[in-house]
A and B are shown apart, each in its own frame.
Chain A
């Protein structure tokens, strides 16, 4: 069964600190993995997209890693800001792009 699991479910960190969010998936055949940021009541916004051949992709303070062998990805946020408070969702697509599988998200709360 194609699944995407994320951990932790929620995380509280102090402003300025770094954090790492995890994503494990069983989607096959795998095409790419995306990390999204979703503010409450809003649509998800793309942060990074990685194919199986990419190990690392950065977007400003966000750095995603992918290990296609172990089917794991992480999202590292550096020097967190209050505006980083949101849910971070890992999304994996099958090779045919007909369907994207969503993780349950990690709810990040950055406190001053």
Chain B
């Protein structure tokens, strides 16, 4: 089965530092998403991306967050100045078309110290 690939699997950073989380969605997919899951809590929506622009974003996705699809294959999430509460597992997901499977990557565990 095709896979969504995320790197790194773990990222440790100091508060206030910038981090970039990388994702390679499945090649023929058109819809892309970032979610996060704080330990012990439910998965939370951050942002959806379609046709090279943000379709929707949650209240979590403030000015500190940005997404890019720089080269047609990678899909990145940047956090400009990390806070302690940004510590979570970040999942990238992609979807080929409506009604089909939403595929998740294995996640990047971000720890902000």
* Docked-complex contact B43 and A97, CB < 8 angstroms: no
Per-residue contact bits, chain B 20-45, to A (CB 8 Å; 1 contact, 0 not):
00000000000101010000011111
**Residue total for B at the interface (Cβ-Cβ under 8 A):** 29
Chain B residues 90 to 113 lying within 8 A of chain A, measured CB to CB, are: 91, 93, 95, 98-107, 109
| A residues near B35, Cβ cutoff 8 Å | 102
* Docked-complex contact B42 and A31, CB < 8 angstroms: no
**CB pairs A–B below 8 angstroms (19 shown):** A31-B99, A41-B89, A43-B93, A43-B106, A43-B107, A44-B91, A46-B102, A51-B99, A89-B42, A96-B55, A97-B31, A98-B50, A98-B56, A99-B45, A100-B45, A100-B102, A102-B35, A103-B42, A104-B42
CB distance from A64 to the nearest CB of B (A): 14
Per-residue contact bits, chain A 86-112, to B (CB 8 Å; 1 contact, 0 not):
000101000011111111110000000
Q: Indicate if B48 sits at the interface (CB-CB under 8 A).
A: yes
| B residues near A103, Cβ cutoff 8 Å | 42
* Docked-complex contact A49 and B99, CB < 8 angstroms: yes
How far does the alpha carbon of A49 sit from the alpha carbon of B89 in the complex, in Å? 24
* Docked-complex contact A49 and B101, CB < 8 angstroms: yes
| B residues near A42, Cβ cutoff 8 Å | 106-107
* Docked-complex contact A102 and B101, CB < 8 angstroms: no
**Residue total for A at the interface (Cβ-Cβ under 8 A):** 23
| B residues near A45, Cβ cutoff 8 Å | 104
With contacts defined as CB atoms under 8 Å apart, how many contacts are there between chain A and chain B in the complex?
Answer: 56
* Docked-complex contact A44 and B104, CB < 8 angstroms: yes
Chain A residues 24 to 66 lying within 8 A of chain B, measured CB to CB, are: 31-32, 34, 41-46, 49, 51
8 Å CB contact of B102 from A34, A96, A105: A34
* Docked-complex contact A99 and B104, CB < 8 angstroms: no
How far does the alpha carbon of A112 sit from the alpha carbon of B112 in the complex, in Å? 38
Which of A31, A49, A97, A103 has the most CB atoms of chain B within a 10 A radius of its CB?
Answer: A97
CB distance from B96 to the nearest CB of A (A): 11
How far does the alpha carbon of A89 sit from the alpha carbon of B100 in the complex, in Å? 17
Chain B residues 33 to 87 lying within 8 A of chain A, measured CB to CB, are: 33, 35, 41-45, 48, 50, 55-56, 58
